[in-house]
Amino acid sequence: MYLCKRVRELFVIFLVIESSLCDVNEPRCYSWFDYEEKMLGKIVKTDSKMEEILESKLQAPVAFFARVSSAFTSSISQTLVFEDVFTDVGGGCNPGTGVFNAPVDSLYVFSITVMVQMSSSAATALFVLKKNDDAVMWLYVNENDIVTEAASGTGLLPLKVGDTVRVTSDPSGGHIYGSYTFFSGFKL
């Protein structure tokens, strides 16, 4: 009888110690199977989250750098075509149309430099960076004596897969210098 009482007391002491050492945030497990099931669930959630983080960090880079190959006289709302593609990582740059198509959702940085010869008939030049046909940035040149002027700009745009970005000229008549007219961009 004395031994039974001692075993019960030790068991009660063990339960008190065990319950005080348990983490209150941990779910209570009622069997070994229940414990394993809950731990496996945590491992799967952690593994899934790690894959998501790695996938977002290891996405392939996207970048391009292109220039206009030869000089031309611009017309109204003409998309500038950047045929000479020096860099096209990710496949978003189309040298035939001058349009960049976003291959992945991300934040992108775009830079434009346009060199234009002004004339008495075209004393101003306006170039527009368009996202899906919406004007988002303007480069303006105004000169009255027949000289060559350059306009440059850099912009930051959030894009979704399939969004397009292009550079257009607005007033016609500007003589665009091919070797000095560039369009580039990259994914952050």
Residue 23, Cβ neighbours under 10 Å: how many?
6
d(CA 131, CA 142): 24
d(CA 44, CA 71): 59
pLDDT the model gives residue 161: 93
d(CA 167, CA 110): 10
pTM over 0.75: no
pLDDT digits (tens, 9 = 90+) for 53-109: 667 656 789 999 999 998 888 888 889 999 999 999 998 999 999 999 999 999 999
Question: Percent of the chain beyond pLDDT 70?
Answer: 78
d(CA 82, CA 113): 12
What DSSP line would sit under 52-69, residue for residue? HHHHHHSPPP-EEEEE-S
CB-based contact 74:169 (threshold 8 Å): yes
Average pLDDT, the chain: 83
pLDDT tier at 122, thresholds 50, 70, 90: low
pLDDT the model gives residue 181: 93
Q: In the chain, which residue ranges form alpha helices assigned H by DSSP?
A: 2-21, 32-57
Nearest of 87, 85, 90, 86 to residue 105 by alpha carbon: 90
pLDDT the model gives residue 19: 57
Q: Which residues make Cβ contacts (< 8 Å) with residue 62, sequence separation at least 6?
A: 89, 90, 92, 102, 103, 104, 106, 108, 186, 187
CB-based contact 76:170 (threshold 8 Å): yes
Cα angle 127, 123, 183; round to 5: 25
For residues 137 and 47, the model is more confident at 137
Give the least confident one: 55-59, 87-91, 136-140, 152-156. Answer: 55-59
For residues 124 and 12, the model is more confident at 124
pLDDT digits (tens, 9 = 90+) for 36-59: 888 888 888 888 877 776 676 567
pLDDT the model gives residue 23: 54
Residue ranges of the domains in the chain? 63-187
- Two structure tokens written together for 55: 């996938």
pLDDT tier at 151, thresholds 50, 70, 90: confident
pLDDT the model gives residue 47: 80
What CATH number matches the domain at 63-187, 3.40.640.10, 2.60.120.40, 3.40.50.10890, 1.20.1440.230?
A: 2.60.120.40
